[in-house]
Amino acid sequence: MAALETPRETATSTSMNNWSGLGLMGAAMRGIGGSVVRRVHCEHVDYSSQATRGSIQRANPDLLRSIFEQYASEEERGVKMMTSDDFIRKYLGLYPEPNYNRETVRLLASAADTTKDGLISFEEFVAFEAILCSPDALYLTAFEMFDNNASESITCDEFEKIIRHTQPVMEMDFDFNSDFIKRYFGADKKRQIRYHDFCQLLHDFYEEQGVQAFQRYDKEKNGYISSVDFQHIMMTVKSHLLSSFVKNNLIAVSGGTASHKVSFPYYAAFNGLLSKMELMKRVYLTQARGNLQLELSKEDFLHATQSYAQITPYEVEILFHLADLAHPGSKVVTFRDLERFDAERLKRISYIMRLTNLKAVQSKEERSAFTA
């Protein structure tokens, strides 16, 4: 649904970073990324053909059994079981510090612990591997984490409990009594939502979070915030959309000075552009016809977007402003620009491979949305 940062255990808080993707889920997620599902790099994989098939080959059950028994440290009625620590810390290699946050580890392990009893059986381990091979693996994994009692539905309390562990909400509070929440869970917040409703909720949540953040900084209620506040919101709530280039040019692209004002339409168009970078690439590639060195003018690009009603002229205007920051005065956009503006974690190639190939990432830069 940004990454889960390795938190330190304290008496007061458990910290997880932005979940988004889809769109984490829109981030195509848009998605989101799955909890313990990171962007993984698998050797000898043809990603293009993998995406075309739309599914990932299941792992050998004997290999899964061997891996499970290697890491399972508990035994219940003569049957080996994995604990949350076994699964997250020992097998996936996450949170190796002795003062790790136990609640974070428990929440992540709950994606595989379908009975929510604190232990992972071999059958659950195999079932989790099956989820990772599904086309909607990221959403399925997220749903398992939010479904705290294995009821196959999610309450408002369950949703709020997990979301409040994410760093953006800890840094910028979200109104869980808003009309947005009530539209999904009812005026009394007693309605329970099932899987597909949850997918849409998680997608829409990050849009709503961005709107609430803008409103919080719009002190005069005139539809404007400062460039500094714009930068803070983007770095806190929308960081999963930011490539390093965009991150380093937030003040410049929003007017160039700290005192410059950012309107809500600009804010909405800026976020819309970043979430549609793959669509922007499609527009470019349609015009390029194989020539990735082609330089497109704003007029040509606007003309090419006429077949895509979801792309607005304001988004194209901002795209070319970013391009001008990359190469001042050229007034063109190239495929290299589109790659430069697209956050690595939002690449639409699926990196979710079979469970036996998962490896813990080595640095924060390798982490993706919903990653520990």
Report angle CA 173, 178, 182 to the nearest 5 degrees: 130
Model confidence at 256, pLDDT cuts 50, 70, 90, reads low
Query: Rounded CA gap, 225 and 230, in Å?
Result: 7
Kind plus residue range of the DSSP H or E element containing 353: none
Q: How many residues does the chain have?
A: 372
Which SS3 state, helix, strand or coil, does residue 116 take?
coil
Q: Do residues 15 and 167 touch, judged by C-beta distance below 8 A?
A: yes
* Assigned CATH for 21-208+360-366: 1.10.238
Among residues of the chain, what percentage have pLDDT more than 70? Answer: 76
Q: Do residues 201 and 239 touch, judged by C-beta distance below 8 A?
A: no
Residue, of 365 and 228, whose pLDDT is higher: 228
Q: What is the pLDDT of residues 115-126, one digit of tens each?
A: 999 999 999 999
Q: What is the pLDDT of residue 137?
A: 83
Number of Cβ within a 10 Å radius of residue 319 = 25
Average pLDDT (36-44) is 31
- In sequence order, which residues have a C-beta less than 8 Å from that of residue 121 and are 6 or more positions away? 79, 81, 82, 115
Q: What is the pLDDT of residues 60-114, one digit of tens each?
A: 888 889 999 999 999 998 999 999 999 989 988 888 888 888 888 888 888 899 8
Number of Cβ within a 10 Å radius of residue 345 = 28
Query: Rounded CA gap, 338 and 323, in Å?
Result: 9
Residue, of 41 and 121, whose pLDDT is higher: 121
Which SS3 state, helix, strand or coil, does residue 8 take?
strand
- In sequence order, which residues have a C-beta less than 8 Å from that of residue 157 and are 6 or more positions away? none
Average pLDDT (159-166) is 87
Q: What is the pLDDT of residues 200-226, one digit of tens each?
A: 999 899 899 999 999 999 999 999 999
Q: At residue 306, does pLDDT exceed 60?
A: yes
Residue 57 DSSP symbol: P
Model confidence at 366, pLDDT cuts 50, 70, 90, reads very low
Query: Rounded CA gap, 118 and 201, in Å?
Result: 27
